[in-house]
Structure 1
């Protein structure tokens, strides 16, 4: 398996920064060298280094301070390694695809059931939940909102066992969704648009439409991972 295109270059940049921390060159609280100097030293383009820094800042490994440079966060070294490990190793593991396949089987049916059984007040509250993100949510805010959105719909199906399964499987794909939001252009906007469509289908009591939108929504994440992160070689 391998990442493709700029994805593998970004992974290389992340791995290089990780190695500097492992080797003790960068310690918690240290400031990174200037972007140009670090890119030259690591043999990376400034663009790929910039993407790596952006990704690592979103998972709190690096702290980008405007006008002051980029710092390694003051996390314990073991926590830093755990946070970085999932990004570097993510594209080598296709287990997440199996969880997304299960989501694609379960959640559309849960969503169709919710269109018939979920109380109107709870459906209206889904719109409030989506509105709470504002116009320009961060990826982290979106993923937290996303988990809550899908949990409420699963609960709205009226089947506690189904809700428990959906919650369990959905949580296992959280990091994948975060990484998609970081790296795929327009992923945030697409997610919000699809969530709105699902909420409207629930509000209109259209189970078939709700099922279809839920399928499209989950299949989009699955397709992205299949094509971009875990291409077989």
Structure 2
């Protein structure tokens, strides 16, 4: 194991055991290096790496602290990875979304209130009237996220928003036959909303699965003809 990796593991262990609690300040560099049996250079590299992961935060002139460790903070790096994902990696992220989001949609069917359903209808109307792909995607994301939020699990909401980011969705839509893809998406959205209005859990799961599977198919087709390499053009 590289010395930096060893240093990272030792600091993580202190956090996991509670020796370093969220929001607590790390001991001075020389003290912590001696405590962990590390060189100061290895410790510095570990701190840089953990800061990039948002596990640690550095306050100029004040020292280094353990972050709040809230899921949304720790998942930010994954969000960037999803934004820049290409090819099979993007497809794999969508496959994970397909495993999670339909079940969340099914749960939401029993939890959404009348005001929530009214808001979802408004979001679909905005999807229909969108003048650009970017505008459509913004309302599309809001629609799906609003459904998942009804489950009341912020970790699930954050994870699903990360798995299919705005940038990724715009790229996929541009890489597909856009008008055809948009019309299919509108149809799928209407079927999802009807299932939610009927409080039909199984139908909500089924319609959400069909919708996300279609997105996978658009992406897979693009991989087959190598069109996704230029979808941002």
Query: CA shift at 1:215, angstroms?
Result: 0.4
Contact 2:120 2:143 in 1 (8 A): yes
Please tell me whether residue 197 in structure 1 is matched to residue 198 in structure 2.
no
| Secondary structure of residue in 2 paired with 1:117 | coil
1:220 matched to 2:199? no
| TM value normalised by structure 1 | 0.55
**1:143-180: per-residue Cα shift (whole Å, max 9, x none)?**
11111111101101222221111111121632333324
Whether 1:125 and 2:119 are equivalent positions in the alignment is yes
SS class of match (1:116): coil
How many matched pairs?
142
C-alpha separation in 1, matches of 2:139 and 2:89: 24
Contact 2:148/2:157 (<8 A) preserved: yes
> Of 204, 217, 231, which residue of structure 2 is paired with 1:210?
204
1:159 pairs, out of 136, 148, 153, with 153
| The one of 143, 146, 149 aligned to 1:149 | 143
Structure 2 residue aligned with 1:19: none
Q: Which has more radius of gyration?
A: 2
Partners of 2:191 and 2:130 in 1: CA distance:
19
Question: Are the counterparts in 2 of residues 112 and 207 from structure 1 also a CA contact under 8 Å?
Answer: yes
Q: Does residue 99 of structure 1 match 2:90?
A: no
Q: Report the counterpart of residue 37 of structure 1 in structure 2.
A: none
Query: Larger relative contact order (C-alpha < 8 A, sep ≥ 6)?
Result: 1
User: Alignment partner for residue 115 of structure 1, among 109, 121, 127?
Assistant: 109
1:22-171 paired onto structure 2 within 5 Å: 93-135=87-129, 137-171=131-165
Instruction: For structure 1, list consecutive stretches of 5 or more residues without a partner in the other structure.
Output: 1-88
Which 4+ residue blocks in structure 1 deviate beyond 4 angstroms?
none
Note if contact 1:118-1:158 (Cα within 8 Å) is conserved in structure 2. Answer: no
Instruction: Tell me the distance in 2 between the aligned counterparts of 1:227 and 1:132.
Output: 28
What secondary structure sits across from 2:109 in the alignment?
Answer: helix
